[in-house]
Amino acid sequence: MLKPTKYTDLNISLIAVVSELLKIFKVSNSITYSELLNKVIQKKGIIAKNIFLPALSFLFLMDKITYYEKKDIIEYKNEN
């Protein structure tokens, strides 16, 4: 569930996971799906796996990332 409640752990909320993804993309402009998932799990814990796909979907809908299916790579779009 993406709607926050008073019991929501802010460290594994959608905003926190999106923030972590952006930090990872700041270091590496393009990364494979599995590497990205592993890095998020290392930082936020296994529970973050539940919110990982909604966070990626959010970035995709905001037109911040591109997914290349043949290479299984997610690339951050730099807007300079």
Q: What CATH number is attached to the domain comprising 24?
A: 1.10.10.10
**Residue 68, φ and ψ in degrees, nearest 5:** -105, 105
Rounded distance, CA 68 to CA 10, Å?
31
| pLDDT tens-digit readout, 5-59 | 888 788 888 999 999 999 999 999 999 999 999 999 999 999 999 999 999 999 9
Structural domain of 29? 10-76
- What is the domain count for the chain? 1
CB under 8 Å to 60, separation ≥6 — which residues? 67
Q: Does residue 42 sit within a domain?
A: yes
Point out which residues pair with 74 in neighbouring strands.
31, 67
Structure-token match 């959608």, residue found: 14
Query: Helices in 1-80 by DSSP H: which ranges?
Result: 14-27, 33-44, 49-61
| pLDDT tens-digit readout, 50-71 | 999 999 999 999 999 999 999 9
